[in-house]
Amino acid sequence: MYIRTVVVTGATKGIGLATIRFLLEEYKVRVAALSRSRTPEIDELEKKHEDSLLVAKCDVADEQSLAAAIASVIDKWGTIDALVLNAGAIEPIARITDTNVPLAAWRSALDVNVLSLVVALRAAVPALKNSVGGGRVIFVSSGAATKGTPGWGAYNAGKAAMNSICRTFAEEEPSIVSVALRPGVVDTDMQRVIRETGAVGMTEKGHQQFVQQHAEGKLVKPEQPGHVIAGLALSAPKELSGQFVSWDADDLKAFREE
């Protein structure tokens, strides 16, 4: 029996962790979790799924580290059937013209949000093209890709670039289904960072919207888009390739958890 293999970046908490749980426990596939840090939650999953979960310490901003981690997955299991590009960085939260924020902070954000995508695709594409069921790449994007939220210049630019890479990759590698997904405003560490530090670079109104959403319990749970991402990683239809879609779109109803 052929068991599929999925690589997930930014995998030890939030959306990445939720996605991994569904992949392991609902879909019964093998998963490689790539992340800079470990968490008690990922340690628990590793003990429970020792034969089907590989946890690899990896800084996606480090080209050699990321390429080596993906190569180790291929060496261990011989294949990669899907790639979930979930790692992302919101910082620096600052105005474009804020000279107190060094340009190096922007470069660091773009290394994580943009250039790591190129590294991961280059490392995984031979295996994805040879996938028995057809390779898939899910880019975990954001509504920021189409907006100009003040203070989020680096993040906005990074997610817009992600969507562009998704569209281009879909054209260049038509045998691989590539989808950019907007997961909504999700209750993750990124939202905590926005609430705690975003007041400086954002408008007061914009910052308070996120504070209020959290206070009123209106944030999306990681499991909601996580279930959609897991399903798309294994069976995203060809007609979605190159598109930017929201996790709660009508077209994705079949992938949402009932």
Q: Exposed e or buried b for every residue in 46-80, given b needs 16+ CB within 10 A?
A: eeebeebbbbbebbbbebebbbebbeebbeebebb
Q: What is the pLDDT of residue 258?
A: 67
The residues that are catalytic are 141, 155, 159
Mean pLDDT, all residues of the chain: 96
Mean pLDDT of 136-142: 98
**220: β partners:** 186
- What is the three-class DSSP state of 87? coil
Percent of the chain with pLDDT over 90: 95
Say yes or no to pLDDT of 249 above 80: yes
Q: What is the pLDDT of residues 202-226, one digit of tens each?
A: 999 999 999 999 999 999 999 999 9
* Cα–Cα separations (whole angstroms), residue 236 to 2, 44, 79, 257: 18, 29, 18, 15
The separation between the first and the last C-alpha atoms of the chain, rounded to the nearest angstrom, is 28
Mean pLDDT of 30-35: 97
Q: What is the pLDDT of residues 67-121, one digit of tens each?
A: 999 999 999 999 999 999 999 999 999 999 999 999 999 999 999 999 999 999 9
Q: What is the pLDDT of residues 180-208, one digit of tens each?
A: 999 999 999 999 999 999 999 999 999 99
Task: Report the Cα 135 to chain-centroid distance in Å.
Answer: 17
What is the Cα–Cα distance from 36 to 39, expressed in whole angstroms?
Answer: 10
Please tell me what DSSP assigns to residue 61.
T
143 and 118 Cβ atoms separated by less than 8 Å: no
Say yes or no to pLDDT of 143 above 70: yes
Percent of the chain with pLDDT over 70: 99
- Residue 257 — very low, low, confident or very high, per pLDDT cuts 50/70/90? confident
What's the CA angle centered on 164, arms 233 and 141, to 5 degrees? 50
Element (H, E) at 140: strand 136-140
Going from the N-terminus, what domains does the chain have, and what CATH number goes with each?
A: 5-184+221-245 (3.40.50.720)
Q: What is the pLDDT of residue 133?
A: 81
Residue 249's CB is within 10 A of a number of other CB atoms, namely 15
What is the Cα–Cα distance from 57 to 36, expressed in whole angstroms?
Answer: 5
What is the Cα–Cα distance from 80 to 32, expressed in whole angstroms?
Answer: 9
Q: What are phi and psi of 42, to 5 degrees?
A: -75, -35
Say yes or no to pLDDT of 1 above 80: no
